[in-house]
Chain A
Amino acid sequence: MSIENVSRRNFLGGVFSAGALVLAARILPEEALADTNEYHGKAASAALRPSIYLGVEPDGTVYIVTHRSEMGTGIRTTLPLVAADELDADWSKVKIEQGIGDKRYGDQNTDGSKSIRGFFVAFREAGASARTMLVQAAAAQWGVSASECKAQLHVVTHTPSGRKLSYGELAQAAGKLPVPKPEALQFKPKSEWRYIGKESQIADLADICTGKAVFGMDVKRPGMLYASVERPPVMGGSVQSMDDKAALQVRGVKQTASIDPFKPPYTFQPLGGVAVIADSTWAAFQGRKKLKIEWNNGANASHDSEQYKKELLETARKPGKVVRNIGDVDAAFAKGGKIVDAEYYVPLLAHATMEPPVALAEFRDGKVEAWVPTQNPQAVQDTVAGALGIKPEDVTCHVTLLGGGFGRKSKPDYVAEAAILSKKTGKPIKLVWSREDDLRFDYYHAVAGMYHKAAMDDKGKTTAWLHRSVFPSISSMNDASSMYGFNVEYGMGLNDMPFDIPNHRAENGPAKAHVRIGWLRSVANIYHVFSGLSFADELAHAAGRDPLEYQLELIGNGRIIDFKSQGVADYWNYGESYEKFPFDTARLRKVLEIAGEKSGWGKRKPGNGWGIGVAASRSFTSYVASVVEVEVDKNGKIHIPRTWQVADVGMVINPDRVRSQFEGAAVMGASIALSGEISLSDGRVKQSNFNTYPVARMNQAPLRTDVHIVESSALPGGVGEPGVPPFVPAFANAVFAATGKRVRELPFSKHKLV
């Protein structure tokens, strides 16, 4: 990310020249610029703007832009903390601005646990650049050397004389200086960090607790109408005939409008259907119930989850596409010894964000302005533009707070629906998905069937391991003929299993998608790590060994895994360079060892309804071990009194938000393990609301989760997702320890434990 002095050029397509804008900001009343500021932000029009992410005004206010979306990770606060620290700003004088969708901010898809990984450096440089320029401006004013001046808490001090100038007093002069080259910047030493690694509170805390926080669901525009869409019940279906007479009789209903079905592949296009437009959300919902629609159901009308499960598991019994190979598993199996094998299955899962998808779009004069809880504002621009045949730059996407995301809100089909309806009606449209819509028309986390087979020598050492995985791929989103996964899905627990086994092969078998498939918090790790680490536990028991000790033995010595020599040509590595973020098994061993110590592993003998389980994995370049304790009562009901999450996520910016993400990951893991299942018959999703798609409630979630963050100076890794994958097998392993019952098919609610 290069930094340039944007005070010297138009910012984000503004109509003023930069000089005029600065001047205008001094002379014109605030209201005259309100529209401009709404689009471009106060950081952009500030006196000192060393980066598109930061501006300093003469009144001392520091504006920091968060171009990433806030869905609960705290990123809206955490990235600005990085810049504020390097600037040595007084946090009480920092105002956070939410960036609109704009490619000039760089990647805005708040996904893949990569906001800090991707933008730590840019925000640090933004703060350091501003600080350097302020110090230079002060030194020039005093006629002294910059090396005699120090910036501290919004004030530059000339150390020998004690003279002081505030950041605000220096902003204009500093704004006229050239922005230092990144390689010339000096960063603060760790000992002087004011915010990084320290306890901070999120900027929206008070607003959230008082109901003032603005989520997508809360936005309004003058003249706005509400819309609710009846979509084809089977993916790929379309309207055959429609009768809206009764719907139009409902009080408050204004009109109906059709939305065309998508053209395959499904991408981020709307599913199509019929919208009811009304003067309240309730009227739109009521009117929709009165629609009479005959559907063409298309090719997926006979899709049945039970049948599909059989097909996935049968396919997993057959050789597939090899995605990693070490040694020769077939030769090792032929030698005999103890053979262990098992099938695993994870059903489709829905995101079920607390705020269902919702979007407000206003089409006017060939342009669209949208207010959206989105993880991906640039995709909103592209998708809306594609749907209406306009240019992406003619779509302005304002990003609200998100009531949860988990990957669902990276896919802006719901914004395209709102924009299409706004164009058709000539009114601003707020389009609200019901919970039923959310669960029936999601981009589901893939269902997967897996087969594991291992051989063990007479000392109980695993000598060969075959891992086959079959799932409808996310690539079906962009390729209607997709039958296989791709390196992103392989790199999440299939071709990066960290075990040091002389013979190992990973394979991917073919499967066709019959619903929209998308990514959900930790993605393919969910099924790969559940099955892989459950099977590792099976091997430990087959060998008569302690599961924690056995997992450490499987991992082997600390080393950097050399994937290239193991037939993995295009190891994904979460989009990062392998040199900067190698797979280091020493770090994986360490989180496991600490998890053992913290949890008092081995001190109590499992059985009689009490058990403890462990699993560790690397994902999103971070290393996490989960230990889960369970109690299974005489009715087979599972309680989770305690869990430990030990995480090496590299350098930590905001420790409390790291802890909260791992606490939350344990709860989401519990939801996946206990009750998560979407299933279809006749091509239709059977679940409809939280009664049929239960998620963990307070009395089902872990009673207590202790998070231990490993001290690390490694580059920052992912935080939002890596806590989910190891939790699920650790839970399953604990249930096995408690009951002797090995559950290989999620969710646990389908199985009787006693």
Chain B
Amino acid sequence: MIKVKINGRERTFDGDPEMPLLWFLRDELDMTGTKFGCGAGLCGACTVHRNGEAIRSCTTAMKDVAGKTITTVEGLSANGDHPLQKAWMQANVPQCGYCQTGQIMHAAAFLKKNHHPTDDEIDAAMSGNICRCGTYQRIRAAIKTAAKEMA
């Protein structure tokens, strides 16, 4: 039996300990804000936080989140008003929107470490998150807006 705290709530899991966290979130908890994009940690659509660090939930086994604290996009803010979410809306970042929760989750972990990121630092940090619609320049702008608000 694996215990894991997700968005402040204790959850238990007794299935295959090798199953990635992504499928526990999506198929068992119906928390579908975390997306399946590649299953190999290559696109970032499944990004969540484990003890505050951005991880790829599609390649993180349930056994590796035992006893840990997980935050998903559903738990990022109470009312969808995290500075990044507000900046995302202000800049009209999303097109199809599928990758955006992963982008926001990755950016949120990044901004906790770097309060005044440069373009290059943002590009380096975010280059693991693919957006096939090509919203990168708006993502970069929104991260800067949010960084200012959070500073």
Please name all residues of chain A whose beta carbon is closer than 8 Å to the beta carbon of B150 when the two chains form the complex: none
Interface string of A380-409 (1 = CB under 8 A from B): 000000000000000000000111111000
Interface residues of B in 22-36 (CB under 8 A from A): 23, 26-28, 30-36
Q: Is the CB of A354 within 8 A of B119?
A: no
A221 CB–B CB distance under 8 Å: no
Q: Is the CB of A660 within 8 A of B73?
A: no
B53 CB–A CB distance under 8 Å: no
The 8 Å CB contact of A705, one of B31, B43, B137, is: B137
A41 CB–B CB distance under 8 Å: no
Please name all residues of chain B whose beta carbon is closer than 8 Å to the beta carbon of A245 when the two chains form the complex: none
Complex Cα distance A665/B100, Å? 18
Interface string of A724-741 (1 = CB under 8 A from B): 000000000000000000
Interface residues of A in 650-678 (CB under 8 A from B): 656, 660-661, 663-668
A73 CB–B CB distance under 8 Å: yes
Size of the chain A interface, CB-CB below 8 angstroms: 68
Complex Cα distance A704/B104, Å? 20
Q: Is the CB of A695 within 8 A of B132?
A: yes
A702 CB–B CB distance under 8 Å: yes
Q: Is the CB of A403 within 8 A of B94?
A: no
A204 CB–B CB distance under 8 Å: yes
Binds B, one of A45-53, A207-215, A360-368, A419-427: A207-215
B45 to chain A, nearest CB (A): 6
Please name all residues of chain A whose beta carbon is closer than 8 Å to the beta carbon of B98 when the two chains form the complex: 215, 217, 353-355, 403-404
Complex Cα distance A434/B20, Å? 14
A252 CB–B CB distance under 8 Å: yes
Interface residues of B in 10-44 (CB under 8 A from A): 15-16, 19-20, 23, 26-28, 30-40, 42-43
Complex Cα distance A403/B33, Å? 12
- Name which residue of chain A comes closest to B31, CB basis: A211
Please name all residues of chain A whose beta carbon is closer than 8 Å to the beta carbon of B99 when the two chains form the complex: 354, 403
Q: Is the CB of B27 within 8 A of A281?
A: yes
B92 CB–A CB distance under 8 Å: yes
- Name which residue of chain B comes closest to A402, CB basis: B96
A15 CB–B CB distance under 8 Å: no
Complex Cα distance A353/B135, Å? 14
B141 to chain A, nearest CB (A): 10
Q: Is the CB of A664 within 8 A of B92?
A: no
Q: Is the CB of B80 within 8 A of A210?
A: yes
Complex Cα distance A354/B130, Å? 8
Most chain A CB within a 10 A radius of its CB, from B73, B92, B93: B92
Q: Is the CB of A353 within 8 A of B89?
A: no
Size of the chain B interface, CB-CB below 8 angstroms: 60
Q: Is the CB of B134 within 8 A of A668?
A: yes
Complex Cα distance A70/B97, Å? 10
- Name which residue of chain A comes closest to B95, CB basis: A72
Q: Is the CB of A72 within 8 A of B27?
A: no
Q: Is the CB of B36 within 8 A of A281?
A: yes
Interface residues of A in 499-543 (CB under 8 A from B): none
The 8 Å CB contact of B42, one of A209, A218, A281, A691, is: A691
A202 CB–B CB distance under 8 Å: yes
Interface string of B107-125 (1 = CB under 8 A from A): 0000000000001001110
A685 CB–B CB distance under 8 Å: no
Complex Cα distance A660/B136, Å? 11
Given contacts A220-B30, A435-B43, 20 further A-B contacts (CB under 8 A): A201-B92, A206-B89, A210-B33, A210-B80, A211-B73, A217-B36, A218-B26, A252-B15, A252-B16, A352-B132, A354-B133, A356-B36, A403-B97, A663-B137, A664-B95, A667-B134, A668-B134, A689-B42, A698-B127, A703-B123
- The 6 nearest A-B residue pairs measured at CB: A211-B33, A667-B134, A403-B98, A72-B96, A208-B97, A72-B95
What are 15 A-B pairs at a CB distance below 8 A?
A71-B96, A72-B96, A202-B92, A202-B94, A205-B94, A208-B94, A208-B101, A210-B101, A215-B35, A220-B30, A281-B23, A354-B98, A435-B42, A699-B127, A700-B127
User: Which A residues lie at the B interface, using CB under 8 A?
Assistant: 70-74, 201-202, 204-206, 208-215, 217-218, 220, 226, 251-252, 280-283, 285-286, 352-356, 401-406, 432, 434-436, 656, 660-661, 663-668, 689-691, 695-705
